[in-house]
Amino acid sequence: MAINATINNETTHLVSMANDIAVNLRLHADADERTTQHMKKFWTPRMRSLLLDYAQAGGSGLSTTLTAALKKLAKA
């Protein structure tokens, strides 16, 4: 059976969701701030902290905007 290769771990999914937010807001001068606010407005605290932990542990695959956004999120 073609068992689905897409059941990644939760954090990988969060990384791709967060990168999607950042890239869709990229045209705004304050894209990082908007990305932070979007995650604060729509993500649960646990989802945010999972991603923050990943970023703080040096996790890869985070876009520049997202990295900046996560720095702001960590301070918020």
| Residue ranges binding other proteins (CB under 8 A) | 1-7, 9-10, 13, 17, 20-21, 23-24, 26-28, 38, 41-47
- C-alpha to C-alpha distance for 3 and 19, rounded to whole angstroms: 26
> C-alpha distances in angstroms, 24 versus 8, 43, 50, 53?
23, 17, 22, 23
Task: Tell how far CA 55 is from the center of its chain.
Answer: 9
The nearest distance, CB 37 to other proteins, in angstroms, is 11
Distance in Å, CB of 65 to other proteins, minimum: 12
- State the minimum distance, in angstroms, from the CB of residue 58 to other proteins: 21
